[in-house]
Amino acid sequence: MAAPAHAHTVSRVTQRRALWLALAANGAFLAVEAAGGLAFRSLALLADAAHMVSDVAGLAIALVAQRLLDRPATARHSFGLQRAEVLGAQANGLALVAAAGWIVFEALHRIGQPAHVRGSGLLVVAVAGLAVNVGSAVPLARARGHSLNMRGAFTHMVIDAAGSVAAIGAGIAVVGWHANWFDPVASIAIAVLVLWSAWGLLRDTAQVLLEGTPRGMDPQAVEAALAADPDVEAVHHLHLWNLASDVPAASAHLVLRGERSLHDAQADGARLKVLLESRFGIAHATLELECHPCDAEPLDEETS
């Protein structure tokens, strides 16, 4: 299935603004949630606070990566630092795994000997946390486009919102039924969600770093679109990859029909690049134009 053209063109300024807003809100609430977890003896709150530490670190990483993304190309980095945002997203995925591991470790210790939890305080802090998470997730959702870096930041917020919901459930269970055991159980549920989101993020960043085909892009559809041009006889050596997670690139060898001048071949190449950008969102394309397949022996004019 073809990727929609220019679906990734969300303003970098808009993305940075959304990241700064989320960082400020989560940084301020982190201290409140950690203090609440200690005061009310709630592992669910402390687990969510631990995840929020990874949120704050992850948002800071995302901001740094976003800034590096805008660095101009140099002789040493001819594409600039486009993949800095992929590395930032991968760091976020690893932070999620570490947070999940800590949550499970603490929950297993408490599940056999549940501590007394002050449910009313837990409930108040969890509701406030949910408001912060949702308020941060909305601008990130609007600004993420196809960027894995922005997706990593958004995923942190969504999982934290799920964690706040679990903490609210724990608070209700403690207040209504004195079920202190529900607090570590809710923490393990949070950890499972964290690991699930981390897996998806790490899988997709590895796909970009290994120069796999961009997600949602069909190589056969791209090849068919090029081959359908009346001036193209054959397509081979087609490669598709991502420079950054939202910047697809392509290279291909195209055998042109008939005898064509250099000027005509250049015009054909320019037209086909426009086709790739308009239909598949591929703004970076390198097309090698040939009069015969490159693996064939060149014709000898004297013996032909």
Q: Confirm whether 302 is domain-assigned.
A: no
Q: Is the pTM of this model over 0.75?
A: no
What residue numbers bound the domain in which 21 lies? 12-209
- Three-class secondary structure assignment of the chain: CCCCCCCCCCCHHHHHHHHHHHHHHHHHHHHHHHHHHHHHCCHHHHHHHHHHHHHHHHHHHHHHHHHHHCCCCCCCCCCCCCCHHHHHHHHHHHHHHHHHHHHHHHHHHHHCCCCCCCHHHHHHHHHHHHHHHHHHHHHHHHHCCCCHHHHHHHHHHHHHHHHHHHHHHHHHHHHHHCCCCHHHHHHHHHHHHHHHHHHHHHHHHHHHHCCCCCCCCCHHHHHHHHHCCCCEEEEEEEEEEEEECCEEEEEEEEEECCCCCHHHHHHHHHHHHHHHHHHHCCCEEEEEEECCCCCCCCCCCCCC
- In this structure, the answer to whether residues 252 and 165 fall within a common structural domain is no
- In this structure, the answer to whether residues 23 and 147 fall within a common structural domain is yes
- In this structure, the answer to whether residues 152 and 133 fall within a common structural domain is yes
- In this structure, the answer to whether residues 76 and 164 fall within a common structural domain is yes
- In this structure, the answer to whether residues 127 and 232 fall within a common structural domain is no
- In this structure, the answer to whether residues 35 and 85 fall within a common structural domain is yes
- In this structure, the answer to whether residues 199 and 244 fall within a common structural domain is no
- In this structure, the answer to whether residues 153 and 227 fall within a common structural domain is no
pLDDT in tens, the chain (304 residues): 444 444 445 677 888 888 898 888 888 888 787 887 788 777 666 766 766 776 787 788 788 877 877 788 888 887 788 888 788 888 878 888 887 887 788 788 777 666 666 667 778 878 888 898 899 989 998 888 777 878 888 887 887 787 778 778 877 887 887 777 777 787 788 788 778 878 888 998 899 999 999 988 999 999 999 999 999 999 999 999 998 877 899 999 999 998 888 899 999 999 999 999 999 999 899 999 988 776 644 445 554 4
